[in-house]
Structure 1
Amino acid sequence: MRRAADIALALTAPETYRLLVADRGWTPQEWRRWTTETLVAQLLDER
């Protein structure tokens, strides 16, 4: 459970959003799609 919280925090942190959208030129929609897909993939990973 702690790993899931760490993953969610890293992906949804304001710094991550700012880095990808403001600094790297992603659209908010691209960030939202990537965040959703990555969260699902990471949280459903059966490792």
Structure 2
Amino acid sequence: MENKYQFETERLGFRQWKEEDKIPFAKMNANTKVMKYFPNILSREQSDEFDS
């Protein structure tokens, strides 16, 4: 069986981005509370550039 994770820690598994990850990631990046310590919130387009 192929391991779906690139690597794992005791608590987390890390995998490649999937298309269905884009919408929740963009919502998170557009949230002012989530992005409180970042210079700006991100637009959908800016957020999508992260997986390029």
Q: TM-score, normalised by structure 1?
A: 0.35
- Say which structure is richer in strand: 2
Structure with the higher helix share, 1 or 2: 1
Q: With CA pairs under 8 Å and 6+ residues apart, which has the higher RCO, 1 or 2?
A: 1
